[in-house]
């Protein structure tokens, strides 16, 4: 535990390569002040083959409290336990909270690595600014709720950051690399211009569950989110969307929607863009694409692969699309999918230490 504390302390106190803008600094907490209370009733480790996503947790958690008057308190690692919140906590009533999710990977050399953690830190700071929550550092999985006991809609005076970790299995029940089917219905909107779609807030996720259930009722597994009168293609489920096709100029091109305030700036999204551009084998474009354009390309046989990308699944191929009562088959699997599999292998090789990279800093 002491080695882990020292390693994380060193990693997380590196210089942040970005501007904090109007972020709310009150004080800082330090790993040197960490206190540890060990759990005396640790659970047996689960069998890897039985793991589900987000259902098993470690025996310990990290909590750090903050107040406007006193700033950050000393961090505490304690036995995994329920939280105690005042019934009037603003996080419960007004969703003044944010979260981040990232993975730690035990590599082929038995060392543990993170994957581009500073991108998560940057995104968390932006979300904190938008939520009027204090700036804080996190690792693995955190929720940063406003716990101020007040029913007024106002800037929080108290907050808590907590970090929980646990082993995970495949995100989708279909498996780690099986195609999913999508429902595209313009009646449902995930985010809009001027809103908070680009931030990692719980309020962006809860309202999507009913639409996800509707997709299942119609025989689909995920939702392709559309926006506006032109039906802009935005995200797929909780993932960023990529389309690999032959464009109208006859060029091989990888297209993903731009970061225009609607799209969450995913870490995996950025990594696929960076890899694709470094290869120099096809055009890589961030631009708006509308539903009419995608359907036209499908009819013309120019679409090669469609896949989602995110921390949970890494890369997830798309096999079909239900739109206005018609199912469109997408030839992702018929084409390998060569590009999606290549991205998956490149990323996982980095994450598990097969390929040395500055993207995967060593923790332990």
Question: Residue 123 falls within a domain, yes or no?
Answer: yes
Q: How many CA atoms lie within 13 A of 44 on its CB side?
A: 3
pLDDT band at 136 (very low <50, low <70, confident <90, very high): low
**Residues 6+ positions from 140 with CB-CB distance below 8 Å:** 101, 102, 103, 104, 163, 164, 165
Question: Residue 175 falls within a domain, yes or no?
Answer: no
Question: Residue 189 falls within a domain, yes or no?
Answer: yes
Cα 43 to Cα 2, 57, 59, 105, distances in angstroms: 21, 10, 7, 21
Question: Residue 172 falls within a domain, yes or no?
Answer: no
| Percent of all residues in the chain with a pLDDT value above 70, rounded to a whole number | 87
State the Cα–Cα distance between residues 144 and 161, nearest whole angstrom.
Answer: 4
Domain boundary among 164, 189, 212: 164
Same domain flag for 16 and 155: yes
Which residue range forms the structural domain that includes residue 283?
Answer: 180-351
User: Per residue in 177-233, pLDDT tens?
Assistant: 889 999 999 999 999 999 999 999 999 999 999 999 999 999 999 999 999 999 999
User: Per residue in 141-163, pLDDT tens?
Assistant: 455 555 566 677 888 888 999 99
State the Cα–Cα distance between residues 126 and 361, nearest whole angstrom.
Answer: 22
Q: The domain that contains 259 carries what CATH number?
A: 3.20.10.10
**pLDDT reading at 32 higher than 90:** no
Q: What's residue 124's pLDDT?
A: 92
Same domain flag for 184 and 155: no
Same domain flag for 138 and 73: yes
Same domain flag for 105 and 45: yes
Tokens of 68: 């406007």
Question: Residue 305 falls within a domain, yes or no?
Answer: yes
Same domain flag for 82 and 213: no
Same domain flag for 127 and 260: no
Same domain flag for 184 and 160: no
Question: Residue 96 falls within a domain, yes or no?
Answer: yes
Domain boundary among 164, 192, 227: 164
Q: The domain that contains 112 carries what CATH number?
A: 3.30.470.10
Question: Residue 341 falls within a domain, yes or no?
Answer: yes
Same domain flag for 92 and 145: yes
Question: Residue 170 falls within a domain, yes or no?
Answer: no
Same domain flag for 193 and 160: no
Q: Across-strand partners of 226?
A: 233
Same domain flag for 8 and 115: yes
Domain count of the chain?
2
User: Per residue in 277-321, pLDDT tens?
Assistant: 999 999 999 999 999 999 999 999 999 999 999 998 899 999 999
Which is it for the CA torsion 136, 142, 148, 153, positive or negative?
positive
Domain boundary among 140, 164, 188: 164
DSSP of 334-360:
GGTTHHHHHHHHHHHHHHTTSS--TTS
Same domain flag for 230 and 278: yes
**pLDDT reading at 21 higher than 50:** no
**pLDDT reading at 248 higher than 60:** yes
Lowest model confidence (mean pLDDT) among 103-112, 147-156, 341-350: 147-156
Average pLDDT over residues 334-357: 97
Same domain flag for 23 and 87: yes
């Amino acid at each position: 535990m002491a080695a882990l504390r020292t390693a994380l302390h060193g990693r997380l106190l590196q210089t942040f390569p970005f501007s904090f803008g109007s972020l709310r600094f009150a004080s800082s907490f330090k790993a040197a002040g960490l206190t540890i209370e060990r759990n005396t009733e640790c659970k047996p480790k689960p069998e890897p083959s039985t793991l589900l996503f987000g259902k098993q947790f470690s025996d310990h958690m990290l909590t750090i409290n903050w107040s406007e008057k006193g700033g950050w308190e000393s961090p505490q690692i304690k036995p995994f336990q329920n939280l105690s919140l005042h019934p009037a906590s603003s996080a419960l009533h007004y969703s003044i909270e944010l979260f981040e999710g990232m993975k730690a990977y035990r590599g082929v050399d038995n060392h543990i690595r993170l994957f581009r953690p500073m991108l998560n830190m940057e995104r968390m700071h932006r979300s904190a600014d938008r939520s009027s929550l204090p700036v804080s550092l996190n690792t693995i999985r955190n929720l940063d709720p406003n716990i101020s006991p007040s029913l007024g809609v106002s800037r929080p005076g108290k907050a808590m950051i907590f970090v929980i970790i646990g082993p995970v299995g495949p995100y989708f029940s279909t498996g780690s690399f099986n195609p999913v089917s999508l429902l595209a219905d313009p009646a449902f909107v995930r985010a809009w211009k001027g809103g908070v779609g680009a931030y990692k807030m719980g309020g962006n996720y809860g309202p999507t569950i009913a639409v996800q259930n509707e997709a299942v009722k119609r025989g689909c597994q995920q939702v392709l989110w559309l926006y506006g009168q032109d039906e802009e293609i935005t995200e797929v489920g909780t993932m960023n969307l990529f389309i690999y096709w032959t464009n109208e100029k006859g060029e091989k091109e990888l297209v993903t929607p731009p970061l225009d305030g609607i799209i969450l700036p995913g870490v995996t999204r950025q990594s696929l863009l960076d890899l694709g551009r470094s290869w120099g084998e096809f055009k890589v474009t961030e631009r708006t694409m509308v539903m009419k354009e995608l359907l036209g390309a499908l009819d013309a046989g120019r679409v090669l692969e469609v896949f989602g990308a995110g921390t949970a699944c890494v890369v997830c191929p798309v096999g079909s699309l239900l739109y206005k009562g018609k199912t469109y088959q997408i030839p992702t699997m018929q084409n390998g999918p060569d590009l999606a599999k290549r991205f998956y292998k490149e990323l996982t090789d980095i994450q598990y230490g097969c390929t040395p990279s500055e993207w995967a800093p060593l923790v332990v």
